[in-house]
């Protein structure tokens, strides 16, 4: 029987490198595939690191130039979201359209039977599950992928929840990036400086406006709504008798609405662009509204235009427009999700 061919997304980091080693050790014919997404030196360095690792492992390396598409989809969505007063999650968009979308299509053209990444999550019988160590879990970011593609995905690190053990594996395998520092920032934001990135990519800089309480009392001026997000406390530069937080971005009136910590709590939302990973959902559902959030029991009603209403059975703090709400069952199986467009 011919060996199965698998294309693995190679970022030049330790996770994908270790995953590629594991796949080769398991007998797959492995092709390392690196997506060139950004025009900067860091991206070039990552491509070179991935190429070197593939040489060390004795596997083929392919580079896909997707810079134009990445700019028109992920970066444009990021900028437009902030313009519209919402806080995007570009990793979810990238996973949906690139790492498990265009990447899969190109891998099939290369003759791959499966695709793989270095994500920390589990796939069992074609279903996506949270990682055993929840601090490492990345299933929240994978809700948008096509469920048909999910059957073609292998995650070699799904049983490796300790990053040091992954580094030890890479070192033992002779992989040169075994001690490479993890990147915690969004790949296209230099130095993790959102403000500088937005300033340099906006046609028109945002206008200053009023910072107000819910009753309309003006407390100060904001520097432009794109620089703020729900739940933010620091950087408001206003004085008040109690701590104040951003509770709403009023784009229509260019006002930043602030209030107490209690004002940040809510339990109902509407999400758009819903993607379900299972045909039939169980009666008992759980949701979380941020990657490091807690699962909370919920009730879901599906609406027209591929939307759903989610009611959490206990309040959640700072539910934020533009972020993802992700559904799970009681066994930590990821059922899908959507992008939050309304909170009430």
- Per-residue pLDDT tens over the stretch 235-267: 999 999 999 999 999 999 999 999 999 999 999
Report the pLDDT averaged over residues 93-116: 98
The residue from 94, 112, 212, 333 that is catalytic is: 94
Query: According to the model, what pLDDT value does residue 227 have?
Result: 94
The residue from 54, 92, 112, 187 that is catalytic is: 187
The 3-state DSSP composition of the chain as helix, strand, coil percent (nearest 5) reads: 30, 30, 40
In the chain, where does DSSP find H-type helix? 14-25, 41-57, 67-70, 76-83, 90-94, 103-109, 147-150, 163-172, 194-201
Whether residue 187 lies in the annotated active site: yes
Q: What span, in angstroms and rounded, lies between the C-alpha atoms of 188 and 171?
A: 28
**Domain residue extents for the chain:** 5-119+155-190, 206-259
The 10 Å Cβ neighbour count of residue 112 is 23
> Is 1 a residue whose pLDDT tops 70?
no
pTM: 0.95
Whether residue 92 lies in the annotated active site: no
Query: According to the model, what pLDDT value does residue 3 have?
Result: 87
Q: What is the CATH number of domain 206-259?
A: 2.30.30.280
- At 162, is the pLDDT very low, low, confident or very high (cuts 50, 70, 90)? confident
The answer to whether domain 5-119+155-190 and domain 206-259 are alike in fold is no
Q: For 8-37, how does the pLDDT look when each residue is reduced to its tens digit (9 = 90+)? A: 999 999 999 999 999 999 999 999 999 999
Report the pLDDT averaged over residues 27-54: 97
Query: According to the model, what pLDDT value does residue 252 have?
Result: 95
> Is 222 a residue whose pLDDT tops 90?
yes
Query: According to the model, what pLDDT value does residue 272 have?
Result: 98
Q: For 329-338, how does the pLDDT look when each residue is reduced to its tens digit (9 = 90+)? A: 999 999 999 9
Q: What is the CATH number of domain 5-119+155-190?
A: 3.40.50.620
SS3 sequence of 216-277: CCEEEEECCHHHCCCCCCCCCCCCCCCCCEEEEEECCCCEEEEECHHHHEEEEEEEEEEEEC
* CA-based nearest residue to 221, from 263, 261, 258, 252: 258
Sign of the dihedral through C-alpha 151, 155, 158, 159: positive
């Amino acid at each position: 029987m011919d060996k199965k061919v698998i294309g693995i997304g190679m970022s030049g980091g330790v996770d994908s490198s270790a995953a590629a080693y594991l796949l080769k050790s398991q007998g797959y014919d492995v092709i390392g595939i690196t997506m060139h997404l950004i025009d900067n030196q860091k991206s070039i360095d990552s491509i070179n690191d991935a190429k070197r690792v593939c040489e060390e492992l004795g596997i083929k390396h392919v580079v896909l130039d997707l810079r134009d598409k990445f700019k028109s989809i992920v970066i444009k969505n990021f900028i437009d979201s902030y313009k519209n007063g919402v806080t995007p999650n570009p990793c979810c968009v990238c996973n949906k359209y690139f790492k498990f979308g265009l990447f899969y299509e190109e891998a099939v053209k290369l003759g791959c039977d499966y695709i793989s990444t270095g994500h920390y999550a589990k796939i069992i019988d074609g279903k996506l599950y949270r990682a055993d160590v929840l601090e490492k879990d990345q299933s929240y970011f994978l809700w948008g992928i096509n469920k048909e593609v999910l059957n073609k995905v292998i995650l070699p690190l799904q049983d490796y929840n300790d990053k040091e053990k992954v580094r030890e594996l890479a070192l033992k395998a002779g992989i040169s990036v075994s001690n490479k520092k993890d990147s915690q920032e969004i790949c296209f934001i230099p130095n993790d400086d959102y403000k500088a990135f937005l300033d340099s990519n906006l046609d028109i800089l945002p206008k200053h406006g009023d910072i107000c309480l819910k009753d309309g009392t003006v407390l100060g001026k904001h520097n432009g709504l794109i620089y703020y997000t729900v739940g933010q406390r620091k950087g408001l530069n206003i004085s008040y008798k109690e701590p104040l937080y951003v509770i709403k971005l009023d784009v229509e009136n260019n006002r930043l609405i602030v209030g107490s910590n209690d004002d940040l709590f809510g339990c109902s939302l509407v999400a758009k662009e819903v993607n379900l990973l299972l045909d039939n959902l169980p009666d008992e559902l759980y949701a979380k509204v941020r990657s490091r959030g807690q699962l909370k029991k919920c009730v879901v009603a599906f609406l027209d235009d591929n939307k759903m209403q989610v009611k959490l059975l206990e309040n959640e703090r700072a539910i934020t427009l533009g972020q993802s709400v992700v559904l799970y069952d009681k066994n930590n199986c990821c059922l899908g999700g959507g992008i939050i467009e309304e909170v009430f």
